[in-house]
């Protein structure tokens, strides 16, 4: 029948209207678009008005990943379970007369108070008052003090004075001898930057007449080129993570300070000070190619010299003092003096609160009382202090105790600072924008999630905590992590196509993201599976395993592109966490009735790889070597005896033989130049050694690759009972198999994570992996060797 001609007795069906062009949202959804401009009807119906556009570009909303949808389902199930708990509690409540509750209603809020407060807040940054104040103005100042920043004469700058502080009413002038140095007026040279004299830079262009070493210890033999190389490498690999220094602001203030004659009063440089200069070199000299400058003794001279400026800079503190104290804390943490390190980091946070860095100082800049660079330095330093305290809390394993974090205000992105090219001559990574402030913005958003993880994990010792409430909190944080990853700008994503072109800050951003999954889910690695939960139960083992594998993969990329010698200190804690997960996976591989040899070989190879990664970082950071020794000690003294004992038990009492295969289980792309022998990878014939033929599914290793191991001195050891599962492993990692590893001891430590205690004697997880929550790897080494309990058969 011809098109458009109706059949006999039937009506014609006309073609519906179609738009000539679909919007980007409908095109991505592959749905019908009516073509209405500027916003089509489907976008209005689905609440996507702001995304409806008519260009040829793709939709700005990135499709959700499968893991994201799984997290949404888990969160939905957790919320429903929590709703049932609340409804059951509500049903037990006794209904009473509700008329009496009307008498307890709080009084209506006086709207005039809010208006007065808003008016006072609007006056932030203005002069402290006219010569004659009305009664109403005095009443507002006494009753509704909204202005928190004050120009403090004694401190020589802005300081916070809250509503309860009597000193905010003080109007006296500074005492003689306490006046801060006068600021040098702005000059044309103020816009110039200190030029780093590195390879490829003409010395004449780098202002050779600058007195750059006037504040450095004379006992250290340091050339201008060595000095500037340290700054260059620190900017490329370390200071951008956490924004410990904004290069443009620091280099501008360095030029102002060095170009001012020493006989003149020093200029006001919020981003530079003599103390900051020496503190910076005390820690960043570890990146120097000169071994003398990398030596701890040399760097200690810089630290001691920096402390000599402390009293003087505290008389008129600038933002630079906050960074200087934090850098000294990092130096002492690296050399192992944790109490001194915590002292300086705490001083840094307290000074930031005293200076009122959390208060927006834009109005002060607009009124001309502070410069734009000073305002930027205050704002960036506040965000950096908040981020650093979360990182410090994760590393130490303590609660967050820094300045208040306003999660509704994200750090801004400075396009000019991000456009500065990042290039490292020792790598094949092409030159590209550094994106340091864009990376910090996303890292700060991630740290806000990390603070919630701190609160959850540090609260696991509360025995009365509701299990379902805890599940709901964990599911919520999982969803936040997936949302953070989904909303990440395309320039900061890591894909198979751009992984080999990634900058260090992009790599560590993703390492930090995956480590948060380990910190959150590792305490529940041995949690007993709830048979009635079904798919709504969170698979903690799967999430930890995926995170650990991604961390190892990213570290392999870093090692190939830059060498882990140029790695920031937080990376070795991330690698340490991944190594502990692979240790737990190795225990899981031996906990079933049949040994999962491939899984065991893979897990132990990954542990070895993590140890080697941390050793590489330890070439730069002293603390990295100690952490590598801790992880290796756990492997040698605790994991290996447990695995050997289980292999001997499964083999019918035969002592296990250790073989070498570092290539097994390595991530794709990992190339080993020469075979590396390892004493940690166990191999045992899957059947008892009584058959001369040697038949069996496992291959027999050559004699030269085998070495006998002494039988572990164990009185009695029992295999897992049938309650933990029977038969072989249908998958590489069985979730139920991990119950044999650590159920009983974890129940004693975190009882909310289990439905009931196990009766079988198990390995004490507190002894195997002490401080199981997260962080503080230096504390793991002092634990006693694992003790195996025995029970009467």
pLDDT score for 99:
43
Confidence of residue 142 (pLDDT cuts 50, 70, 90): very low
pLDDT score for 716:
30
Higher pLDDT, 774 or 490: 490
The per-residue pLDDT for range 561-605, each reduced to its tens digit, is 999 999 999 999 999 999 999 999 999 898 878 888 899 999 999
Strand partners, 658: 682, 707
The per-residue pLDDT for range 524-537, each reduced to its tens digit, is 887 766 655 555 67
Asked if the model's pLDDT at residue 141 lies above 80, the reply is: no
Q: Could you give the 3-state DSSP secondary structure of residue 736?
A: helix
d(CA 50, CA 73): 27
Q: In 3D, which of 325, 324, 342, 346 has the Cα closest to residue 333?
A: 342
pLDDT score for 599:
92
pLDDT score for 174:
38
Q: In 3D, which of 234, 250, 245 has the Cα closest to residue 198?
A: 234
Q: Are 303 and 217 in contact (CB under 8 A)?
A: no
Using CA atoms of 764, 769, 773, 774 in order, give the dihedral in degrees to the nearest 10. 180
Report the greatest alpha carbon distance in the chain.
109
* Cα–Cα distance list, 594 to 590, 719, 723, 733 (Å): 7, 11, 15, 12
Range from 235-244, 324-333, 407-416 carrying the lowest mean pLDDT = 407-416
pLDDT score for 293:
96
pLDDT score for 410:
83
Task: Check the CA dihedral 443-444-449-453 and report its sign.
Answer: positive
Asked if the model's pLDDT at residue 685 lies above 60, the reply is: no
Confidence of residue 90 (pLDDT cuts 50, 70, 90): confident
The per-residue pLDDT for range 658-681, each reduced to its tens digit, is 443 434 434 433 333 333 333 434
Q: Are 282 and 327 in contact (CB under 8 A)?
A: yes
Asked if the model's pLDDT at residue 412 lies above 70, the reply is: yes
Higher pLDDT, 490 or 47: 490
Degrees (nearest 5) of the Cα angle 667, 672, 676?
110
- Please provide the average confidence, as pLDDT, over all residues in the chain: 74
With tokens 């679909």, the residue in question is 22
- The 8-class DSSP code of residue 737 comes to G
Q: What is the pLDDT averaged over residues 131-153?
A: 51
To which H or E segment does residue 382 belong?
Answer: helix 372-396
Degrees (nearest 5) of the Cα angle 110, 115, 118?
135
Q: Are 761 and 790 in contact (CB under 8 A)?
A: yes
192 exposed, middle or buried (CB, 10 Å; 0-12, 13-18, 19+)? middle
pLDDT score for 488:
94
With tokens 């701890």, the residue in question is 296
Range from 369-383, 414-428, 690-704 carrying the lowest mean pLDDT = 690-704
Backbone angles phi, psi at 281, to 5 degrees: -70, -30
pLDDT score for 15:
60
pLDDT score for 625:
92
d(CA 314, CA 320): 11
pLDDT score for 521:
92
Q: What is the pLDDT averaged over residues 427-431?
A: 92
The per-residue pLDDT for range 707-748, each reduced to its tens digit, is 444 444 433 332 333 222 223 333 333 333 333 333 333 333
Range from 128-137, 473-482, 589-598 carrying the lowest mean pLDDT = 128-137
pLDDT score for 653:
54
Q: What is the pLDDT averaged over residues 179-195?
A: 58
Degrees (nearest 5) of the Cα angle 383, 388, 390?
100
To which H or E segment does residue 706 belong?
Answer: none
pLDDT score for 304:
97
Token output for 624: 């990295």
* Share of residues in the chain with pLDDT > 70 (%): 64
Asked if the model's pLDDT at residue 607 lies above 90, the reply is: yes
Confidence of residue 160 (pLDDT cuts 50, 70, 90): low
Q: Which residues contact 373 (CB under 8 A, 6 or more apart)?
A: 249, 252, 253, 270, 271
**pTM, rounded to two decimals:** 0.67
Task: Check the CA dihedral 343-349-353-356 and report its sign.
Answer: positive
pLDDT score for 722:
28
Token output for 211: 């007195």
């Amino acid at each position: 029948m011809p098109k458009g001609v109706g059949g006999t007795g039937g009506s014609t069906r006309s073609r519906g209207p179609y738009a000539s062009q679909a919007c980007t949202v409908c095109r991505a959804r592959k749905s019908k678009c009516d073509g209405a401009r500027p916003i089509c009807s489907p976008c209005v119906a689905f609440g996507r008005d702001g995304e409806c556009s008519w260009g040829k570009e793709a939709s700005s909303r990135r499709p959700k990943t499968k893991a994201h949808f799984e997290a949404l389902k888990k969160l939905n199930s957790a919320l429903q379970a929590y709703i049932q708990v609340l409804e059951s509690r509500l049903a037990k409540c006794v209904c009473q007369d509700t008329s009496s509750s009307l008498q307890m209603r709080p009084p209506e809020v006086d709207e005039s108070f809010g208006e007065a407060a808003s008016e006072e807040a609007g006056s932030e940054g203005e002069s402290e008052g006219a010569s004659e104040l009305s009664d109403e103005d005095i009443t507002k100042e006494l009753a509704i003090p909204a202005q928190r920043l004050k120009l403090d004469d004694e401190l020589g700058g802005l300081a916070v004075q809250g509503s309860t502080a009597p000193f905010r009413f003080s109007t006296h002038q500074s005492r003689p001898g306490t006046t801060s140095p006068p600021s040098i007026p702005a000059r044309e040279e103020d816009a110039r930057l200190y030029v780093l004299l590195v390879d490829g830079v003409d010395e004449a262009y780098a202002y050779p007449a600058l007195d750059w070493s006037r504040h450095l210890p004379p006992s250290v033999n340091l050339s201008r080129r060595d000095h500037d190389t340290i700054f260059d490498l620190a900017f490329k690999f370390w200071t951008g993570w956490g924004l410990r220094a904004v290069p443009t602001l620091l280099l501008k203030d360095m030029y102002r300070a060095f170009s001012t004659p020493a006989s003149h009063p020093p200029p006001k440089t919020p981003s530079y000070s003599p103390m900051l200069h020496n503190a910076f070199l005390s820690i960043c000299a570890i990146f120097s190619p000169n071994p003398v400058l990398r030596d701890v003794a040399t760097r200690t001279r810089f630290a001691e010299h920096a402390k000599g400026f402390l009293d003087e800079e505290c008389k008129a503190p600038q933002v630079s003092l906050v960074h200087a104290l934090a850098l000294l804390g990092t130096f002492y943490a690296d050399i192992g003096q944790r109490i001194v390190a915590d002292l300086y980091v705490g001083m840094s946070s307290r000074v930031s609160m005293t200076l009122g860095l959390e208060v927006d100082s834009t109005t002060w800049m607009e009124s001309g009382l502070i410069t734009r660079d000073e305002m930027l330095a205050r704002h960036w330093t506040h965000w950096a202090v908040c981020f650093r305290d979360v990182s410090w809390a994760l590393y130490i394993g303590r609660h967050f105790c820094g300045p208040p974090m306003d999660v509704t205000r994200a750090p801004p992105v400075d396009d000019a600072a991000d456009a500065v090219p990042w290039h490292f001559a020792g790598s094949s990574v092409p030159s590209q924008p550094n994106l340091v402030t864009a990376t910090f913005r996303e890292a700060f958003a991630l740290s806000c999630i990390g603070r919630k993880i701190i609160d959850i994990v540090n609260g696991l010792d509360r025995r009365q905590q509701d299990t379902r409430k805890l599940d709901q909190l964990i599911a919520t944080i999982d969803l936040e992590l997936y949302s953070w990853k989904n909303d990440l700008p395309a320039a900061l994503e890591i894909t198979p196509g751009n992984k080999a072109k990634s900058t260090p800050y992009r790599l560590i951003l993703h390492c930090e993201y995956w480590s948060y999954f380990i910190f959150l889910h590792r305490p529940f690695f041995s949690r007993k599976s709830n048979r009635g939960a079904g798919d709504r139960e969170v698979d903690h083992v799967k999430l930890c395993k995926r995170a650990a594998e991604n961390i190892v993969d990213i570290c392999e990329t870093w090692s190939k592109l830059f060498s882990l010698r140029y790695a920031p200190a937080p990376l070795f804690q991330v690698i340490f966490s991944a190594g502990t997960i692979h240790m737990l996976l190795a225990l899981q591989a031996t906990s079933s009735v049949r040994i999962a040899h491939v899984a065991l070989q893979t897990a132990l190879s990954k542990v070895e790889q993590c140890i080697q990664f941390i050793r590489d970082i330890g070439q730069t950071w002293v603390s990295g070597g100690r952490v590598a020794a801790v992880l290796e000690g756990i492997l040698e003294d605790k994991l290996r005896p447990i695995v050997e004992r289980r292999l001997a038990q499964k083999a019918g009492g035969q002592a296990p033989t250790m073989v070498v295969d570092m290539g097994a289980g390595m991530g794709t792309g990992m190339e080993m130049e020469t075979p590396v022998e390892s004493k940690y990878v166990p191999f045992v014939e899957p059947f008892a050694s009584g058959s001369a033929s040697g038949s069996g599914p496992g291959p027999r290793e050559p004699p030269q690759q085998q070495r006998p191991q002494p039988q572990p001195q164990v009185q009695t050891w029992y295999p897992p009972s049938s309650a933990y599962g029977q038969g072989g492993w249908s998958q590489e990692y069985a979730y139920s198999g991990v119950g044999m590893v650590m159920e009983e001891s974890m129940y004693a430590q975190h009882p909310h994570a289990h439905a009931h205690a196990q009766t079988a004697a198990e390995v004490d997880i507190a002894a195997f992996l002490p401080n199981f929550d997260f962080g503080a790897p230096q504390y793991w080494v002092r634990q006693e060797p694992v003790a195996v309990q025995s029970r009467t058969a």
